[in-house]
Each structure stands twice: as structure tokens, then as C-alpha cells.
Structure 1
Amino acid sequence: MLKTAFCLLLTGFAASQTFAQSSKSLPAIEQKMVDRGLVDVQKIDPEIRVELKYSTTDNFIGRDVYGELTRAYLQPEMAKRLAKASALLKKEKPGYHLLVYDAARPNSAQYDLWNALDHLKIPARSKTQYVADPKIGSNHNFGCAIDLTVVDENGKPLDMGTKFDFFGPLAYPRSEQEMLKKGKLTARQIENRQLLRKVMTQVGFKVNTTEWWHFDGMSKAQARAKYGMIP
């Protein structure tokens, strides 16, 4: 009996050590997310694909902004909604998947994006059209916004008419019909956007009028009051 109890004690200790090591193995920036109660969306739904653009050089700055942050984190209620959107997409288009480009973002990274607009010579009056003022914060800074697209059975992103983070009317949902009439967007490109919007809005996300890829889970005021900003 004593031997069995001792073995169980050792097993429990080993398990606790393994858990401690795994929790410590997270990069500091991701541990900060976990400590604030945010969750890795792929742990909620492994079917969701993730390619954080600001952890690569494939973004409007042309450099890695996030460093060791490579997983997509959201507030738990947002991650659950995203999983529901993923299920709706799977039902609508079997084989298709959501591909996350950006999720929770530290406010420190918000300053990097904001300051980069100066190098792109974006007029001061137009900066907030593309990047939220870090003093106020973006919904990304509260873990309540997500940037994403849809990929097909082969993992190829659907043609949405522009790349992620494209600056200009071609990316504006509010301008789609005008762009269609001018021949700058095709009906298929708009249909692809509408597919993404359909599954996201059905689970409670709101469309951004100037970015086809961006969806908010609640207002900025609500997010600030409920969660506070990720530093």
C-alpha cells in the first residue's frame, strides 16, 4: 500500500513539474496574455488556422513587430464566438477554414504600427483611418478584435480583391458596390468577402467599414471597461 501511495505521489509530482515547465515555456509576451485571462484560439478550435502577419515581414511595416508572439489570443468569449464562426463556415463550405492574421495585440506594438505611418507619409489627419491611436487603443489591445480571412481546401486564401492591410477604398466594405461598378473588384471577390462576413456577423462580430478583414466583438468603450488594455 505504502509503495503504491509513494508511486502515486511521485507521479503527481512529475505531472505538476511537467505542467510548471510547460507553462514556463511560453514566451514572456504570450505569458502576459495568459496571465490576463486570454486564450489561444487554436486550443478552443484546432480547425482555425493562424498566421500572425505582424510576426512576419509580410505586413505594411515590412518587419517583424511581435517577435515571439506567434499564437492568436483573444478574450475567452471572443474565442468561443470565433469557434462558432468556424463551425458555420465548415457547414457552409466543407474543407474551408478561417485563417487568423491578427488577434490580441499589446499596446506597445500599437505604438510601432502608429509610428510606422509617419514613414509611409500618411497625413496626420488620416492616420486613425488605418491604425488606432495607441493613446486610446485599438480593440486588438483589449483582445476583442480579430483580423482574418478564409482559406480553401488547399489552404489557399480566397481572393478578397486586396491583401491584408491594404490602404485605400478597394479594401472598404462600404465601397464595394462602387468598386464593382468601376471594375476594380469582381463579383466573386465580393462574394468571398460576404462569406467571411456572414459567418462572423452571425456569431456577433461587427464589420469594420474600411477593412474587410477586421471584426470587432464589442465597442471599444465596452472592451476597456470590461477587460482593460494589454500593455
Structure 2
Amino acid sequence: MSAAIEVMRHHRSIRKFTEQALSADQIEAIMASAQAASSSSFLQASAVIRVTDPELRTQVMALCGNQPYIGGAAEFWVFCADFHRHLQWVPEARTGFAEQLLIGAIDTALMGQNALTAAESLGLGGVFIGAVRNQPFELCALLELPKGVIPLFGLCLGYPAQDPEPKPRLPASLMFCENGYPARFDEGQMQAYDEQVQQYYRTRTGGNKDMSWTGQIGETLAKEARPFMLEFLHRQGFCLR
């Protein structure tokens, strides 16, 4: 098995970091790896804000639920979908289409995954932060994001100060389908996976969390998350048509 596959298969989210900074060479290598990701129609519809100012990092952390690893990581980057740059150089370009949101989100997610995989290959760790979308209006003002730019997720990077076990993923047979989508997934496999996840949480939390994967689905999807998101997208010039 290749070294690249080993790195990807042993991914863990790291939320505790040492105080050691990343070198300039490491940062440059991670950035170059992120930029090497595939891009739809070569639009390169992404921008990344590297938050290095301590006070600004504290303010961003406050908008993201005060998750302490945002402040504790050596690096914190905010990945954004970006069509503002296109309009700067090609003012007649037509933007605001729903498909462009998908392009920007997909391009940026591919960049983010490349960045994290590159970091992990260097012995670093990281965790993605979806909470940058908790207060997007305020975050846009704080990071001076113009119309045509939306923050999608953050990424903490640094030297790990913990060694968690990998979180169990769905069996491949419940995710990879051949020649079409099945009428019904196997209930027995689902039950076995539920039990595996439940045991994982019990072990990781010392018995403080006892939840199956389907239980987590029910809790997470019980209500609409971030109901302000469509208004925010419209304000930033996305999904207008």
C-alpha cells in the first residue's frame, strides 16, 4: 500500500496541538498542495484567509462558538468560495447562478482536503471547522470579505498533542453502489455499524456519550441548521437565479 493511502486511511481530527509553529517550508508545501486540487472549468473559485493576527484569531474564535482549538492551533485558515476575483478582472462575467455555488463549494472543499492530507503527510494534524458559518454576516465584516465571497469552513493545523483513534466509517457496502442506487440498504449491516459507533463514543468519552450513528442523524437533522443561510448567500451574490 502506498504512503499516500496510508496517510488518508489513518486520518483523525486533531483538536489539541503543541505550541510548535509550522515552518515557512511546511506552509508553502501545504498551500501548493491545496492549489494543486482539481478545479471545475479551471475557474479556481476559492480564496483562503490565513488568520495570523492573535487578536483577529480571538475574534474569529468567538464567532465560531469559542472552540479552543481555533486559538490553540499553530495555523488557522478560512476557506472561501470566491467569484469576486473573477469580476475584478472580467467585470462583464455573469455570476449569481446556483451552479456557481456548487462549483465554488466543490473546488474549495477539494482544496481543503488536499491541504489537510498534505499536512498529515508531514506529521501534522488538523480539524475542519464548519462553525465559520455560525455567524457569517459578522465573519464577513471581520475578515473584510466582499460580495462574491463566502466562508465555507475553517481548518486548524499544527503538531498533534493527542492521539485519538480513527472514527469508524460506514461499511463500504453502505456507501458505494454499483450501477444504481439500491432500493434498500442492509438493515443488519446498519445495526452493526450503529453498535460500533456507540462503542466508539463510549470509549472516547469514558462513558459520557452513548449514541449510535442513526441516533446522531436523528438529533442533527431534527431541525433546520443555520436558517439564515439563504439570506446570507443572497446578500453575498450567490444563488440569485
**TM > 0.5 fold call:** no
- Smaller-chain TM-score bracket: 0.3 to 0.5
TM-score (normalised: structure 2)? 0.33
- TM-score w.r.t. the length of structure 1 is 0.34
Which structure exhibits the higher relative contact order, with contacts defined as CA atoms closer than 8 Å and separated by 6 or more residues? 2
